[in-house]
Structure 1
């Protein structure tokens, strides 16, 4: 962590955010249990950091300051999700719970997001900050606001819980896709792969919203047409259907790659048979770190 005191203005903050984004996402994704939610929290962190700027401000430990904002944004996200789930029936809750995959206590940094979600929030935060991101105990205290004794206890208990989880068998519910959703997504993917972008454009709503994560945002069919044109000019992609953290997704592969591992993914939202929202993670490779990615036919 940067131990200096730095004067921050908008350009300096933008530069720092760009450099820290993968590490911030690694923390937020593991705390929330989803690379998609993790990106939402990172974006919320950026907004809160920008709102905190009042002209030029002097910040002690600027990187730690950003991690504190991310930590607090994550706590807000978890509380909102807890309130939402508390309104659901017990039967609904059983569809959300996702048993852990295997955890290797000797390689905590590789522990699955599902496994981290089985730890209490304080234990989860301590383990991720110390064992995944490499913060010291004192830096972790500064980020979370916990005492040194509480941080040591949370870290010890979190590590012990991960060792216990490592001995449990892997039992992961297979995600499923509604038949109508699959039909719509397959048509989109098939037209995309055929480079029939006029037909793809016909599927999107006039007021469609697009986010190319870590790059740009566009709104309206006219602007988004440029996005499809960029794909039409590129040759380093092919699409398939799958799931990312249990969410229906379009996986982006490199056709010249030696393996089948995706290089990115897209999320679509539909209103009846029109695409109203596109989130393209192709230029956010850090979002693949720790994600549970599966092809539809696996």
Structure 2
């Protein structure tokens, strides 16, 4: 008996992640064989190329909306039935079927995209807001950060808690004021504008986690902070600006 699982969400995430990689490795090997020219067969024993192909496909999965991604992975990768998926996600079977239909269609569309997609870019307005938030945060000017919040702002501290409204969300910044293990930089997480969080004592290390923001009329409407779900950064494609 290995005892209780300290982080069930992270444990489940890694199971799904590893199962998806196994599934995608098999698909990558199948695509590598050419029916026309035996000399063009790719050696399936090449683990580096295999992992790169699987990781690229996993990145495609991560570009699906959450409901579609969950439904497709749980059915097509992990092999759960519609009823099992419905029970686990607390969603109706028609909704699961719709998410599967849209998710599979989106995957086919994404598979047709060229490999050399352009690097994502921020609009001038997005860059201004993101940099203002980061500059104030790094300066520990949390009163100025609070001034950027919309009245109806929502916070998800992933795998930990949810807060709603300016008053509740305002307490979140106090937690950051008490620790020194972060420095924010602008970037992208899965092609979405994001704050990438680095350890100031190890600036050459990859970002430890990321934070997603959404704005409305120049005010911060939602915050999704993965500080307590750092396993997400292990699979996400992160790009520092």
TM-score range, shorter chain: 0.5 to 0.7
Listed one character per residue, the Cα deviations across residues 27-75 of structure 1 (whole Å, up to 9, x for unaligned) are 5793862178459855x89xx9xxxxxxxxxxxxxx9869963899987
CA distance in 1, matches of 2:240, 2:7: 36
| Matching residue of 1:218 | 163
Count residues in correspondence: 190
Structure 2 stretches of 5 or more lacking a match? Answer: 21-56
Classify the secondary structure of the residue corresponding to 1:289.
helix
Q: 1:79 aligns with which of 94, 97, 101?
A: 101
C-alpha RMSD over aligned residues: 4.1
CA distance in 2, matches of 1:225, 1:290: 30
Kept in 2: contact 1:35–1:288 (CA 8 A): no
Q: 1:183 aligns with which of 118, 128, 131?
A: 128
| Matching residue of 2:138 | 193
Structure 1 stretches of 5 or more lacking a match? Answer: 1-11, 49-62, 87-92, 101-170
Does structure 1 residue 289 correspond to structure 2 residue 234? Answer: yes
Kept in 1: contact 2:153–2:221 (CA 8 A): yes
Classify the secondary structure of the residue corresponding to 2:114.
coil
Q: TM-score, normalised by structure 1?
A: 0.53
Shift of 1:224: 0.9
Q: TM-score, normalised by structure 2?
A: 0.64
Classify the secondary structure of the residue corresponding to 1:200.
helix
Listed one character per residue, the Cα deviations across residues 66-110 of structure 1 (whole Å, up to 9, x for unaligned) are 996389998754523567899xxxxxx89x96434xxxxxxxxxx
Stretch deviating more after TM superposition (172-181 or 252-261)? 252-261
Matches within 5 A, 1:1-298: 19-25=11-17, 30=58, 33-34=61-62, 37=65, 69=85, 76-81=98-103, 98-100=113-115, 171-257=116-202, 259-296=204-241
Listed one character per residue, the Cα deviations across residues 98-132 of structure 1 (whole Å, up to 9, x for unaligned) are 434xxxxxxxxxxxxxxxxxxxxxxxxxxxxxxxx
Q: 1:25 to 1:243 in 2, by over 3 A?
A: same
Classify the secondary structure of the residue corresponding to 1:236.
coil
Q: 1:98 to 1:18 in 2, by over 3 A?
A: same
